[in-house]
């Protein structure tokens, strides 16, 4: 009878604690966590992944009653692991939002804003363009399958019952500087080109002071900004490929 109860506790914990990590991951993961995806669909997806991952668990499950006070600590650990892993993906997508903001402010297009469905706030139209491109690249390059596979592997490298190392939490804090640095690199070609355009107008204003440089330069800068964005937009693919590889390496390092 004791062995039957222990087996029942292990079986329940195998799926309950797995669902906590998977559900927390989908709750924060970009695109899936947006209002565009209904809560019912998100829950069904989390349950499906939980059943697949739970059936394949090879690590030992803590022999703890799923509805005890000790189980609350394990649930909190699984929530934290899932949220931290998905937060790395959020940082990856926000890199291109930051880059779009820099380009928009430099080209004079910062006043044009659109609703960002990911965060529910207004962002510049250039950032929205970059974000939509990254969303399409993420699914076309099977990024969603990669992160689900990494989530399943995390139960082997960081089994249920173990907490995140302190070094992993510190690496998450350092992602803030990585986001702004990478966002600057994304916007760097367009920003440098627009800086040359503004410098040229500065020289023209000194050579021909009678020319109203404000009325001529502002619309001209906007048009050139759109042309520069059109020319530099294909660079989003190699940049996203490189940055996503770095983000996946960080996600793997968190659960080791």
Summarize pLDDT for 177-215 with one digit per residue, the tens.
Answer: 888 888 888 888 888 888 888 788 777 777 777 666 666
Instruction: Give the per-residue pLDDT at 168.
Output: 73
Residues 11/14/17/23 CA torsion (nearest 10 deg): -110
What tens digit of pLDDT does each residue of 18-62 get? 888 899 999 888 888 877 788 888 889 998 998 888 887 766 677
What's the rounded Cα separation, in Å, for the pair 6 and 4?
5
3-state secondary structure 149-213: HHHHHHHHHCCCCCCCCHHHHHHHHCHHHHHHHHHHHHHHHHHHHHHHHHHHHHHHHHHCCCCCH
């Amino acid at each position: 009878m004791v062995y039957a109860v222990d087996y029942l506790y292990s079986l329940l914990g195998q799926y309950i604690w797995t669902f906590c990590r998977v559900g927390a991951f989908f709750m924060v993961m970009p695109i899936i966590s947006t209002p565009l995806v209904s809560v019912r669909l998100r829950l069904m997806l989390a349950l499906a992944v939980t059943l697949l991952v739970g059936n394949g668990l090879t690590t030992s499950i803590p022999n703890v009653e799923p509805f005890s006070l000790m189980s609350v600590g394990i649930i909190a650990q699984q929530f934290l692991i899932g949220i931290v892993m998905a937060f790395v993906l959020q940082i990856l997508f926000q890199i291109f939002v930051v880059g779009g903001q820099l380009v928009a402010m430099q080209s004079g297009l910062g006043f044009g804003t659109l609703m960002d469905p990911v965060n529910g706030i207004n962002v510049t139209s250039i950032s929205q363009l970059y974000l939509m491109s990254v969303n399409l690249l993420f699914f076309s390059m099977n990024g969603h399958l990669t992160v689900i596979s990494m989530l399943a592997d995390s139960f082997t490298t960081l089994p249920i019952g173990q907490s995140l190392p302190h070094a992993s939490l510190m690496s998450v804090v350092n992602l803030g500087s990585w986001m702004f640095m990478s966002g600057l690199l994304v916007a760097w070609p367009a920003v440098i080109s627009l800086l040359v355009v503004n410098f040229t107008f500065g020289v023209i204003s000194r050579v021909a002071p009678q020319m109203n440089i404000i009325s001529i330069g502002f619309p001209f800068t906007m048009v050139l900004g759109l042309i520069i964005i059109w020319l530099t937009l294909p660079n989003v693919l190699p940049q996203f490929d490189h940055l996503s590889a770095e983000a996946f390496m960080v996600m793997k390092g968190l659960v080791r």
